[in-house]
Amino acid sequence: MLVTEDEILRGMKLLLTRERWLVEGAAGVAVAGFLKQRRRYRGKSVAVVLCGRNIAEAKFKRLLSVSV
């Protein structure tokens, strides 16, 4: 599955706003992929493995401007 940079940023922003987790793009990819397929998993228990908490300042500033 392919996800866009904007989808990755939205995944990162979702984790930041809802869970208060500041993560890098690697974790954003996992969330973005799940969000693309979320209908498929409705009503099921799902685990998304997240890794990476290093984020560059420029990416962080861009993340803050993204709407979820």
> How many beta carbons lie within 10 A of that of residue 31, not counting itself?
22
- pLDDT tops 80 at residue 68: no
Report d(CA 34, CA 46) in Å as an integer.
Answer: 9
8 sits in which H/E element: helix 5-14
The answer, as to whether pTM is greater than 0.95, is no
Report d(CA 51, CA 17) in Å as an integer.
Answer: 17
- What integer pLDDT is reported at residue 65 of this predicted model? 87
- What integer pLDDT is reported at residue 4 of this predicted model? 97
Q: Which sequence spans correspond to the domains of the chain?
A: 5-64
DSSP class of residue 43 equals T
The predicted-structure confidence for 5-52, as pLDDT tens digits, reads as follows: 999 999 999 999 999 999 999 999 999 999 999 999 999 999 999 988
